Structure formats: structure tokens, C-alpha cells
Amino acid sequence: MNTIIKIENLRKSYGNISAVKGVSYSVEKGEMFGLVGPDGAGKSTTIRMLTGLLNPDSGNAEILGFNLKTHKNKIKDEIGYLSQRFSLYGDLTIDENIEFFADIHGVKNFKERRNELLDFTRLTPFRDRLADKLSGGMKQKLALACTLIHKPKIIFLDEPTTGVDPVSRRDFWKILSNLLKEEITIFMTTPYLDEAERCNRIALMNNGEIISLDSPKNVKASLKEKIVEIVCSPIRKAYDIIKINTEFEVQMFGDRLNVALQNYDEQLNNLRQLLREAGVEIYDHRIIPPSLENVFIHLINKAL
């Protein structure tokens, strides 16, 4: 594999708050790499350091073989960055916005590339529409087109689908999948664990630290406990009973619970007895494959 991003002991603090606590990992060429975690985990701080917008307190990174501290301008010419608040110009059309970003990046003969990107993002029928008149999903696709106008080798996407409707999210992911065929490396942050499933590799991040790093499949396989799905009623009462009276990890999804058990037979019998004595009716239970959310909660609890 060809390492395209190499991060070594990167740290960043804001006053007394440690946002990123000495993280180290690498990203390979052509990967879709996901930095996954809740708000405040350190994802955006990390991506802003890697794009040169923030200076790390210590540690270093290499992007495309260039040292982040000494070759920042060379790196900027080879990457694209789509921030959480990408600045489109509402009084410019789609065409004009892309032209503006082409000019910023010094792209002279941009029209053919612009047409390719409009076809790619399915924005061609709307090219004369003002950016202010676009839906949230269309604005994100336009922002991505602007990010890609100078043919970057790596694109950094900071929570690109936050606040976007489900249909637009699906379209956006199709576009990202097609980018991988062009051998563009994608480094993205997301709070959505279902999106993380689409990445080649993920780093689960919490409190400024990487708590797991591997393919989504291997991250899920690392959980040794059995995940038992329990359908019962009343669901909130059952959740509270398990949370208060046991040490089992429990999560609530709609009308069912996910409970992590180490000793399936013995602990399940004890759990069923506990719930029935409290007047909770159990309709069904089964072992299910662990989800990334199950693993993430387990790792957070383990660190407490």
C-alpha cells in the first residue's frame, strides 16, 4: 500500500481543553477513511490541522510526502477541503461559483472540467440557478464540485452530510464512491455510524483519542460479548431496570433493547428473571451481529 497521509503524535489544546491527544495513524492512497465520533471528539480539530488551517501544538503529519509544518503551501495545492460551513456565494449561480473557485486555485481552462463535475453531481440542469435557491443537498453537491475543480489528490470532508435529507445523503455517497474509482483519497469525518460502514477503514474517536482503528468489519468483530436483542414492554422501564440493577451494557432502539452479555446462557436467564419480577413482558429475544454503535458504546464504557 502507498501511505498518503501519515500522522504522528498530533496534539491540539484550547486553553485547558485537550481537543486532540497525541493521535498517530496513516491513510493509504485510494482509501475512503472515516474519522468517526460524537461532537467534541476532536474530529474537526484534526481535519483542520491536516488541511493547514490550525497549527498543532506538537507532533507532525506528512501529506503526499510533504511535511505539514514546512510545506503547507505545496500541500494546499494538492488537496481539497469541504468544511462544515463551506462558503458558497448565494448571489452567484452554480456555474459562477465553480468558476470563482477555479480562479482561486489558478485553474485556467476550467470549462470542460466544470461540465464534467456538473454531470458527475447531476447539477447540469440547474447550472444557472443561484446558490441561495438550492436545497441543502444540492448545495453540498455544488460545494463538492467546487472542492474538486482543481483535481485534488486528497479531499478532506468534515461531516459533509450533516443536516442533509436522506435522499440527498444517498446521492452524495454515490458520488463519493465514484470518486474512489478516480483514485482520489477521501478523508472524512462523520458522527453517523451507518455512514462509517461505507468506509474502507475507520478510526473511532472519543475525547481526543483514537479508541479503535480498522475496517468496519474488523472493528465489529473485536467485540467479544454477545449482543442480545430483546423485544419487551414497557421498553423504558426495562431499560432503566437493566441500567440501574446490572452492569450489562444496554442500548434502546425503538421497541427493542440491545444488551451485551459475556456469559450468554447464565446471564440471559438472570436478566429474564429480573425483568419478569419487575412486571416487564418479554415477547422475543435473539442474538444479533454487533453494530458499530454497540462497539463504540462498549469501548467508551471500558475507558471509564
Which is nearest to 4 in space by CA: 33, 23, 26, 22? 26
Mean pLDDT value of segment 243-251: 93
| pLDDT number for residue 57 | 96
Chosen domain end from 182, 199, 215: 215
Together in a domain, 188 and 296:
no
Buried b (16+ CB within 10 A) or exposed e, 99-116: bebbeebebeebeebbee
Bridge-based pairing state of the strands 154-158 and 79-82: parallel
Q: For the segment 258-277, what is each residue's pLDDT rounded down to a tens digit?
A: 999 999 989 999 999 999 99
Q: Indicate whether 29 and 143 sit together in one domain.
A: yes
Q: Is the pLDDT of residue 72 over 70?
A: yes
Domain of 174: which CATH number? Answer: 3.40.50.300
Same domain as 192, residue 120: yes
N residues, the chain: 304
Provide mean pLDDT across the span 290-303: 89
Among the candidates 215, 232, 261, a domain finishes at: 215
The per-residue pLDDT for range 193-220, each reduced to its tens digit, is: 888 999 999 999 999 999 999 999 999 9
CATH code at position 234: 3.30.70.100
Confidence band of 144 (pLDDT split at 50, 70, 90): very high
- Please spell the DSSP secondary structure of 113-167, one letter per residue: HHHHHHHHHT-GGGTTSBGGGS-HHHHHHHHHHHHHTT--SEEEEESTTTT--HH
Asked which of 168, 184, 215 is the last residue of a domain, the reply is 215
Q: Is 117 in the same domain as 203?
A: yes
Number of domains the chain contains: 2
The reply to whether 249 and 184 lie within a common domain is: no
Q: 195 with 299, same domain? A: no
Residues 296 and 180 in one domain: no
What's the pLDDT score for residue 1? 58
Range of the domain at 237: 223-303
Count, in order, helices (H) and strands (E) of the chain. 11, 14
pTM (two decimals): 0.89
Separation in Å, CA 200 to CA 38, 84, 235, 303:
20, 22, 35, 25
